[in-house]
Chain A
Amino acid sequence: EVQLVESGGGLVQPGGSLRLSCAASGFTFSNYWMHWVRQVLGKGLMWVSRIDTDGSETTYADSVKGRFTISRDNTKNTLYLQIIGLRAEDSGVYYCARDPVIPDGMDVWGQGTTVLVSS
């Protein structure tokens, strides 16, 4: 079964850091681009970041540049999102999603992991 499972979320104080993980199974992880998408509770989706198949190219939304780092370990079939300098507005559910590239589109999503930034 094709599956993505996120972990690593939790309650963090402002200014703190966190590393989210996304474990992939059931498909050849290294063949796919991967994305992180955030959703504030009760609000819409916001694209956060994308990484290419071997990790050599990454892109970020302007609002997270410099604080978020996306990476992947194809030997462990795992995607990561390192976040530093956490702010209240970073709170939300973080989803990882698979992108076949051709065709374009996020075709498989994880269940999400929740990050709450609060003192």
Chain B
Amino acid sequence: QSALTQPAPVSGSPGQSITISCTGTSNDVGGYNLVSWYQQYPGKAPKLLIYEVTERPSGVSNRFSGSKSGNTASLTISGLQAEDEADYYCCSYARNNIWIFGGGTKVTVL
């Protein structure tokens, strides 16, 4: 049950687009369309941003979008804003009814 692989800190300027990858295996990310993404501010609980790879819950900005190719899922933040500075985690359902989180990616807005 190794953590999914996410990149080290990612930064961007306001208005830019950034993409965070989440790499797993065929037993998790690649095997199911059950990848979700969470945003977390320091000292706060995580918030669901994307579910089932591409779907956005109501109330989540359409600047956030998800995709998947093979064993790698991605979260793209378009039109980066100061309020997007936070930690982002991917999570995938995996074989044998378990879930696996990624190690997290800190996003900095320059």
Contact surface of A with B, Cβ cutoff 8 Å:
35, 37, 44-47, 50, 57, 59-63, 95, 97, 103-107, 109-112
A106 touches B101 (CB 8 A): no
14 extra interface residue pairs, beta carbon distance < 8 Å, beyond A45-B104, A106-B91, A109-B46:
A35-B99, A44-B89, A44-B104, A45-B40, A47-B91, A50-B97, A61-B1, A61-B98, A62-B1, A103-B52, A104-B51, A105-B48, A106-B36, A112-B45
Taking a contact as CB atoms closer than 8 A, the residue among A50, A103, A105, A110 that contacts B45 in the complex is: A110
Q: Least Cβ distance of B58 to chain A in Å?
A: 10
User: Closest 5 interchain pairs by CB?
Assistant: A105-B51, A109-B45, A44-B104, A47-B99, A105-B36
In the complex, whether B12 has a CB less than 8 A from a CB of chain A is: no
Chain B: interface size category: 20 to 34
In the complex, whether B103 has a CB less than 8 A from a CB of chain A is: yes
**Closest chain A residue to B47, Cβ basis:** A109
A60: B residues at CB distance < 8 A: 98
In the complex, whether B100 has a CB less than 8 A from a CB of chain A is: yes
Candidate in B34, B45, B91, B101 with the most chain A CB atoms within 10 angstroms: B45
Q: Least Cβ distance of B17 to chain A in Å?
A: 23
What secondary structure prevails in chain B residues at the interface with A? Answer: strand
Q: Least Cβ distance of B59 to chain A in Å?
A: 11
Complex Cα–Cα for A15 and B1 (A): 24
A57: B residues at CB distance < 8 A: 97
21 A-B pairs with CB atoms under 8 Å apart are: A37-B46, A44-B104, A45-B38, A45-B46, A45-B101, A45-B104, A57-B97, A59-B97, A59-B98, A104-B36, A104-B93, A105-B50, A105-B51, A105-B57, A106-B48, A106-B91, A107-B48, A109-B45, A109-B46, A109-B47, A110-B45
A105 touches B46 (CB 8 A): no
Q: Least Cβ distance of B66 to chain A in Å?
A: 11
Complex Cα–Cα for A61 and B55 (A): 26
Candidate in A62, A105, A109, A111 with the most chain B CB atoms within 10 angstroms: A105
Complex Cα–Cα for A112 and B41 (A): 14
A107: B residues at CB distance < 8 A: 48, 51, 57
